[in-house]
Chains A and B, each alone.
Chain A
Amino acid sequence: DAKTTQPPSMDCAEGRAANLPCNHSTISGNEYVYWYRQIHSQGPQYIIHGLKNNETNEMASLIITEDRKSSTLILPHATLRDTAVYYCIVRVGGTGGFKTIFGAGTRLFVKA
């Protein structure tokens, strides 16, 4: 599975959009991009995933570049409760086993 690169930390003002970047330059054609977040001492929470099209759900939007080498998670109106570590993951789909590689992630601080 491809390795991802994320900034270690970011700040965002409450009510503003938080844009979290992720580089995955060695991603393969059959690998999906997933985003999870982890609030301190809790289990990670799934946010969104995509293959090559942009995706949106009630939590966030995922923008994947045309060459698929990078992506951006957008939290449109960040709140204090969005303060967490955000993980960008790429992994192969399908059956036959897979490995999910969680890196150190980006620690997002939402400030009032």
Chain B
Amino acid sequence: DADVTQTPRNRITKTGKRIMLECSQTKGHDRMYWYRQDPGLGLRLIYYSFDVKDINKGEISDGYSVSRQAQAKFSLSLESAIPNQTALYFCATSDAFMARGGDEQFFGPGTRLTVL
């Protein structure tokens, strides 16, 4: 089984709808991240959480919210989806075991979201 899973894998929704993307991990890592990937822009950080009680905004948090329900679960919500949130969304985890900043991030398979 995959260490980092994301559900759903694909989702089509309409403008104005609320949608939640879920991420679960079995790696036992404290740190979790949400990124979005757009063609020509690479991956950009939306939110990150270094433990269950710690949630921080990333580079592009407007229009998104997150919930860290447990060490293993980190959900991303779009309160009112808009077309320019159409993107590929990745969840990632890392372990603070490495020297600070040097942690390899392990990525989920991605969720392809289309907002019509």
Binding partners A and B: no
Q: What residues make up the interface of B, taking CB atoms closer than 8 Å to A?
A: none
